[in-house]
Every structure is written in C-alpha cells, then in structure tokens.
Amino acid sequence: MHLSLLGLFVAYISNCYQPTAALSLQGPPKSDRKGFLHQGALILGGSVPLGGLLSVPEAAIAAPKLYEPPANSQVGKVHIITGASTGLGLESAKRIAAAGATVVLTSRTPTKGEAAVQQVQDYLSQKNVANSNIYFLTLDLDDLSTVQSFPERFSQLLPNTKVDVLMNNAGIEINKREITRDGFERTFQSNHLGPFVLTALLFPLLNRDGSRVVNLSSTAHSFAGVLDLQDLNFEKNYVGWLAYCRTKLENILFTQELQRRADAAGFNWFTTTCLHPGVVGTDIWRDNVAKGSDITSKLFYGSMKTVAEGANSQIYQATEKPTLLKKGRYYDEFCNVKQLESFAMDPASARALWEESEKLSGVAFKLR
C-alpha cells in the first residue's frame, strides 16, 4: 500500500476513534465519513500536510485506562495466544499471565519464543506476581504442517490439559503478493486459513466447562465489500491492503459461522467473538512504513494507539465472564458490540467460506 493510501486509511480509523481519559464502554461517536473522504482526497492530492493529519490534539493524549483482569481470576485457566512474540499478542500474554493464567505463546522461531517468555516474566516481576506457567511453542501459519502438528506438541508440553481460550491474534499485512509453501496467497493463509485449521484441530481440546475463541479482525473489513469466494487467493489484480481487508472480513464471517455451528451442536459452553483493536502501532505496518522517511515513520506511529491501549478489547474478551459476552459478535476497541454491514453478516457467505476453507486446507472442521 502506498503511503498516501495508508495515511487515508489511518485517518479514517483515527477519525472514528476519539481517545478518552478512561476506558469507555459507550464507544466512539459516529464519524463524518464524507468529510473524512474529502480530507483523504486532499491528502492524495498533496494539499494537506501529512504531519498535520497524523497529529493528535494535545488534550486527547491522556492515557486511557488499561483493561486488566482481576488478580487470580485466570488461575487454573489455559490460554493459547498466537503471534505473541510482539505487539498485541505479547501485551495480552503479559496481562493475562498477571491474572494467574497458564499461557502458551506462539512464535515463528524458538529464539523469539524464548525472548517473549522472558519479557512476560519481567513484566510479572515488575507487578510482583509469581507465575511460572508461561510457555512457548513454535507456530508458522504460513506452513500448515506446523499448524497440523501443533495440538500434539501442545499435549506433549502440557499433558492431559484442556484449553480455555484460543486467541487467534497473529496476522500480517504486506505489499507484494507472496505464495506460501502450501501454495496459497500469504495474507489469506496467515490471516484466515491457518487460524481456521488451528481452531479446527484444537477444538477437541477445548474445555467443555466453558471455553472461547477470540479472533482478531479489523474495521478494515469495511473496505472489502462482498467476499469474492472465487478469488480467495487473490490471483486477480492483487492489492496488498485490499487482501488484508478481505481477510479481516473472513475473520468476522468465520466467527459467526463457528458460533452458529457450535450453537446448532448444542455446545452452549462455547463462545467465540471477534474484534477491532483500534489503529495500533504494531509491527504489522512495518512493510509499508519502512519505505518512508524517519519523519514519516514517527508521525505515523505517533498518531496511533499504543500497543498497551490496543490490547484492551481482546484481553477483555479473553477473560471477562462469558455471560457478559455476546456470542458470535464483533467488538470495537472500547469493548462494545458493533453493528456490521450486511455483507459482513451474510450467513451464505460465511457458510461458503467455511466449506471452501475445508476444501483448500484438506481439514474437515468437525465440531465434536
């Protein structure tokens, strides 16, 4: 994605997000979308300084309250968090571990996994919390063989252990079309197909006394439009940012279909939700921002929510009492349920995506 388009996207999301001094459960006010798009057109035309667009009013910079699960509320619970070596996943691991959970972080390499575990332990030491139940397992969503072996490796790490929470946090956004070793467009596999397979294979290990799956989506799904089920691999007119938007829509449709099927199977112990974390300065943007100047990079990241702020909603959904969550729904960064566009609530598209995901991956997702 060109920087001007990236600025347009960030401006739109930032316009929807009004920082507050405390974590609000009321949600942001509605944005003036026409006004924003006019502003975006000026950006693209070079009429508005990028720095002015990405700056945040000084009065709005007060740090918002961070959602922290009550002490010891997660003792005895097991959380798996994908993509937890950096960013939102690592921040989630820290606060969930501080509440007493057994946490299994995933990373692409052992080096990153070991470093992440140490960072969590350092955080716990600062909080004067003792919790030795922090582990890591390697997982590369771009390689389905590591996804398929994950449940067995988890059971070897923690024998006879059930999973209370699976947080599908990992995701990418890239400029250039890449093909994985499994033959799929990389954004599609990393953001949807890999998590779909992982969830399918871990489902038998979920705790029947109450468990949940939390899927990280994005408000970027709004730009996807109706899902093109004939081009999930994005073989026609590839655009990196649009591929990302489509996978975020797929995350939402997958969440809805998973809940529908669980409900139909009588699994009232199961809850799945998805969310937009806000526009957060994580590593996901590095492929785009790295191409700009140092000044551009500072302005870009300076306009965003911090990682600590951005992790609020997913931590909330992973740890809050299940009776307070709306099953199968999409949440915003303020932990509020948000209404979706009709194309993001289409059961036919969700069902077709599920069936196509089974076909492409060769993994039948049987709820049992």
* Mean per-residue pLDDT, 107-131: 98
pLDDT for residue 279: 81
List of E strands, the chain: 78-81, 102-107, 134-138, 165-168, 211-216, 270-275, 330-331
Given a cut of 60, whether residue 18 has pLDDT beyond it is no
pLDDT for residue 305: 77
Q: What is the distance between the alpha carbons of residues 75 and 87, in angstroms, rounded to a whole number?
A: 24
| DSSP count for the chain of H helices, then E strands | 14, 7
What residues pair up with 196 in beta bridges, in sequence order? none
pLDDT for residue 267: 98
Instruction: Enter the DSSP assignment of 208.
Output: T
3-class secondary structure, 280: strand
Least confident among 30-39, 251-260, 310-319: 30-39
Sorted by sequence, the CB contacts under 8 Å of residue 63 that are 6+ apart come out as: 21, 309
How much is the pTM?
0.82
> What are 275-303's pLDDT values in tens digits?
999 986 555 445 454 455 454 444 444 44
| Residue 223: closest CA among 32, 30, 37 | 37
pLDDT for residue 368: 76
Given a cut of 70, whether residue 10 has pLDDT beyond it is no
**Portion of the chain with pLDDT greater than 70, in percent:** 76
Given a cut of 80, whether residue 347 has pLDDT beyond it is yes
Query: Is-contact 322 194, C-beta < 8 A?
Result: no
Query: Is-contact 189 141, C-beta < 8 A?
Result: yes
Instruction: Enter the DSSP assignment of 213.
Output: E
Given 3-state DSSP classes, what are the helix, strand and coil percentages for the chain, each rounded to the nearest 5? 50, 10, 40
Sorted by sequence, the CB contacts under 8 Å of residue 42 that are 6+ apart come out as: 48
Given a cut of 80, whether residue 106 has pLDDT beyond it is yes
Counted residue by residue, the chain has a size of: 368
Q: What is the distance between the alpha carbons of residues 368 and 359, in angstroms, rounded to a whole number?
A: 19
pLDDT for residue 225: 95
**Portion of the chain with pLDDT greater than 90, in percent:** 74
* 3-state SS record for 67-87: CCCCCCCCCCCEEEECCCCCH
Pick the catalytic residue from 67, 123, 135, 244: 244
Q: What is the distance between the alpha carbons of residues 240 and 309, in angstroms, rounded to a whole number?
A: 26
| Residue 253: closest CA among 165, 354, 172, 341 | 354
Q: What is the distance between the alpha carbons of residues 127 and 122, in angstroms, rounded to a whole number?
A: 9
> What are 200-230's pLDDT values in tens digits?
999 999 999 999 999 999 999 999 999 999 9
Is residue 244 part of the annotated active site? The answer reads yes
